[in-house]
Structure formats: structure tokens, C-alpha cells
Amino acid sequence: MRATRVVEGLAASTPFIGPERLMRERGMRELVRLGANESAFGPSPRAVAAMTAELERLAWYGDPDSYDLREALAGRVTCQLEQVLVASGIDELMGLCVRAFLEIGGVAVATRGTYPTFAYHVTGYGGRLETAAYTSEGSPDLDALAATARRERASIVYLANPDNPSGTFLDAQRVVRFYEALPPDALLLLDEAYADFADPAQLAPPCFDDRLVRVRTFSKAYGLAGARIGYALTTRTNAERLERVRLQYGVNRNAQIGALAALQDEAHLAWVLRETAAARAEYEALARELGTTTIPSCTNFVCIDMGSAAFATEVMAALLDRGVWIRKPGATPLDRYIRVSAGTADMRRTFAQAFRAVTAERRSIATP
Ligand SMILES: *Cc1c(COP(=O)(O)O)cnc(C)c1O
């Protein structure tokens, strides 16, 4: 008995090693979680109240149409409800897009070392991933991505904007120019997981075209990562295509309720954005104090330059020994950075103490 050719051909891979596993392996009871860009500021209390009040009805399936939430989202972005598709997070939506738009053996293009779930789906569905490196400043290289897409006749091009793990942001004009430079039959999968942290006036314009699927989430600014809920914005035609392979009851009922309440709590979101900006500023100041630099971030995390990949890895491990969990980019040229999520003032203090201690032996991080 064998699995499919595609699955037999896959190497076992773990796109994310969770902090729970790290704690189990080390016999630790708690960690300061600054590794997954979760919101340290939590979900809206209104979302928690709405979800708590509805918990008793968990015997019921959620609305397979996610109607109320889609209606609210369509009102926000000014589109039709039929152009909004809700799923259990961007991670699931990326899988649906790959399944719907990439043939087995087809080519997809992404930045080398960017958010890993897209690559995971591409190989998982039997596609081939081609990559272009980040620029030396740490942003996705739009010219190289477009050239790779044209050369490889790509079916899907993935761009995270704002980007993870770099935190960089490309303004509307640059994204539009990039979109226009792609082959006419390539789909742009625009991952806007961090769009809530960006200046709305600088986001790519609300464009509804069959060549574009944008995906967004309640996992980051809205603090609902554990609830698993996100949405796609696209044309009715594409939404209907994705509908054909969508899991009808894949969205948690409680998540639908929490997301709707969270969307209506604008004050909480504004507070999260202010706290996140304060955390970024503090990390930047800390990096300066220690003689190094950060990549300007438009997200809820900051990359700090450790001078070399080896030292970045060492620092990450030493922080873990001190109970602080962060991550680091895996591919050059960003692999010499560590990536730290925005924490509360307490978490930041713990991080800063541990970070100063583990880097204390080096006079300057940037010149090891
Ligand atoms: C966190 C993150 C996601 C995951 O979103 P979910 O809705 O939780 O699946 C997707 N893309 C990027 C770039 C992210 O950083």
C-alpha cells in the first residue's frame, strides 16, 4: 500500500515548531511567547464576551455561509458579500487557492524565506515552487519575482505585504506596478495578514479582478489566532471556484461569533495598534543601545540584526534557555536577524533583560 505519488515524494517537513513542543522537550512550564506574532494584547473583550455567551451552543454547527461575518466584512471593504470567502485562517485559504489555481506540476513563485505555508501547500499539491531572494534591504524583490514568474510561466505568485518575516511594507503604487508586470494568466495571491498595521491609504487599492486574491486574518491585530478564522477578497467568479473545494463546516462556530464582535470593536483595535507601535519603538531603541539596527517594520514584530546567521541562531537558543521564545528568518539575506513579536510592557522588559544578558559578551552585535 502506497500513498499518492505526490505524497510519497514529499520530505517530512514541519513548517512551524510550536512553543508547546519546545516546552515539552525541555520540561519547561512557561515561555514568554514572542515567536509567532500572536497578539500579546489579546482579543477584544467584546469578542470574548460574545464567544463566552455562545459557548453553550457549541452543539450546533456554525453557519456554513458565514453570512453575518461576510456581510460585515463586505460593508467594511465596500464589496459584495459574494466576493468574501471565510475559512479557518489564511493558512487554509492559501491551500484552497493552490488547489484551485495550480495544476500538478505547475509552477508557483514566492520570495525565498517568506511565510512558509504557501510553499507547504504548493509542494503538498504537487506543484513546483520557484523563488526570488529578498533585496539586501530586506524587502521582497518585486522585479525579480515578476521576472521569475514570466520566465517560469507561473500560475500563482505569492506576495506577503506587509511581509513576514522582514516586516517591510511596499506601498500601493509599487504593488500595482508589480501586478501589472506579472504574466496575464498568473494569479497574484496577496497575503495581507498584517494589513491592519499599515496605513490604509498606502494599501493596494480595492481591486476586484480574476487575477487577484487577497487574504486577511483575525489572527494578528484582532488577537484571535487560536480561533482560526480569516477571509479572502476576490471576484465572484473566483469565490465561486474556491467554494467548490471549500470545507463547508471548516470554520469554527465560536470563531465566527468572535470575529464579528471583534470587527465591531474599533476602540480595541486602535489600542492594539498604539501598543504595537510602542513595542516596535522600544525594540528599535534597544537595538540601537546594543549597537545594531532593525529593519523598519510595518507589522507587530521587528527583525534585529545579529551580524551573522550563526550568532542569530545562538542568541535565539540562549533566549529560549532563559524562557523567551522568538524566531528567526531562515534564508539569506535575512538569516542574520532575529524576529521578535510585539509584547506587552512586561514581556518587553523580560525580553530586554535576557537579550542584554545573552549579547553582553560582545561589544557590538553587528561586528562579531
Ligand atoms: C500569521 C500569518 C498567516 C497565518 O494566518 P492565519 O489566518 O492564522 O492562518 C498568514 N500569512 C502571514 C504572512 C502570516 O504572518
Ligand 1 midpoint to CA 222 (Å): 12
Q: Which of 265, 287, 318 is the last residue of a domain?
A: 265
Ligand 1 midpoint to CA 2 (Å): 32
CB of 196 shorter than 6 A to ligand 1: no
Same domain, 257 and 288: no
CB of 282 shorter than 6 A to ligand 1: no
Residue owning the nearest CA to atom 15 of ligand 1: 164
Please report which confidence band the pLDDT of residue 40 belongs to, taking 50, 70 and 90 as the band edges: very high
Ligand 1 midpoint to CA 359 (Å): 30
Same domain, 254 and 295: no
Type of residue at 358: V
Same domain, 58 and 166: yes
Ligand 1 pocket mutation, candidates 16, 33, 69, 90, criterion most atoms within 8 A of CB: 90
Q: Which residues contact 335 (CB under 8 A, 6 or more apart)?
A: 113, 309, 312, 328, 329
Same domain, 63 and 193: yes
Residue owning the nearest CA to atom 5 of ligand 1: 90
Same domain, 80 and 151: yes
Q: Is residue 19 part of a domain?
A: no
CB 88 within 8 A of CB 250: yes
pLDDT at position 102 is 98
> What are the C-alpha distances in Å from 3 to residues 6, 96, 117, 159?
8, 21, 22, 31
Ligand 1 atom at minimal distance to the Cα of residue 230? 7
139 φ/ψ sector (left φ>0, alpha ψ -120 to 50, else beta)? beta
pLDDT at position 164 is 98
* CATH number, domain with residue 78: 3.40.640.10
pLDDT at position 367 is 54
pLDDT surpassing 70 at residue 143: yes
Average pLDDT over residues 101-122: 97
* CATH number, domain with residue 319: 3.90.1150.10
Same domain, 258 and 296: no
Average pLDDT over residues 242-254: 96
Determine the Cα–Cα distance for residues 311 and 358; give it in Å rounded to an integer: 11
CB of 191 shorter than 6 A to ligand 1: yes
Q: Is residue 205 part of a domain?
A: yes
Ligand 1 midpoint to CA 347 (Å): 22
Average pLDDT over residues 342-350: 98
Determine the Cα–Cα distance for residues 283 and 304; give it in Å rounded to an integer: 8
Average pLDDT over residues 149-159: 98
Average pLDDT, the chain: 95
Same domain, 125 and 213: yes
H helices then E strands: how many in the chain? 13, 11
Share of the chain above pLDDT 90, in %: 94
Angle at alpha carbon of residue 298, lines to 295 and 302, rounded to 5°: 45
Please report which confidence band the pLDDT of residue 239 belongs to, taking 50, 70 and 90 as the band edges: very high
Ligand 1 midpoint to CA 117 (Å): 8
Bridge partners (DSSP) listed for residue 214:
190, 233
Query: What are the pLDDT digits (tens) for 80-96?
Result: 999 999 999 999 999 99
Q: Is residue 182 part of a domain?
A: yes
Ligand 1 atom at minimal distance to the Cα of residue 91? 9
Same domain, 76 and 171: yes
pTM of the predicted model over 0.85: yes
Query: What are the pLDDT digits (tens) for 18-30?
Result: 999 999 999 999 9
Q: Is residue 251 part of a domain?
A: yes
Q: Which of 265, 296, 320 is the last residue of a domain?
A: 265
Ligand 1 midpoint to CA 150 (Å): 27
Query: 177 lies in which domain range?
Result: 45-265
Residue reference for cell 475559512: 87
Residue owning the nearest CA to atom 14 of ligand 1: 193
Average pLDDT over residues 137-152: 97
pLDDT at position 296 is 97
Q: Is residue 10 part of a domain?
A: no
pLDDT at position 207 is 86
Q: Is residue 16 part of a domain?
A: no
pLDDT at position 364 is 54
Using DSSP, state whether 367 is helix, strand or coil.
Answer: coil
CA proximity to 189, closest of 168, 220, 213? 213
Same domain, 286 and 147: no
pLDDT at position 101 is 98
Determine the Cα–Cα distance for residues 316 and 339; give it in Å rounded to an integer: 9
Residue owning the nearest CA to atom 11 of ligand 1: 193
pLDDT surpassing 70 at residue 214: yes
CB 84 within 8 A of CB 239: yes
pLDDT at position 113 is 96
Same domain, 221 and 330: no
Share of the chain above pLDDT 70, in %: 98
Q: Which of 211, 246, 265 is the last residue of a domain?
A: 265
CB of 126 shorter than 6 A to ligand 1: no
**Domains held by the chain: number:** 2
CA proximity to 127, closest of 104, 146, 145? 104
Determine the Cα–Cα distance for residues 187 and 343; give it in Å rounded to an integer: 35
Q: Is residue 347 part of a domain?
A: yes
pLDDT at position 266 is 97
pLDDT surpassing 70 at residue 221: yes
Please report which confidence band the pLDDT of residue 13 belongs to, taking 50, 70 and 90 as the band edges: confident
Please report which confidence band the pLDDT of residue 122 belongs to, taking 50, 70 and 90 as the band edges: very high
Average pLDDT over residues 318-332: 96
Residue reference for cell 500579546: 40
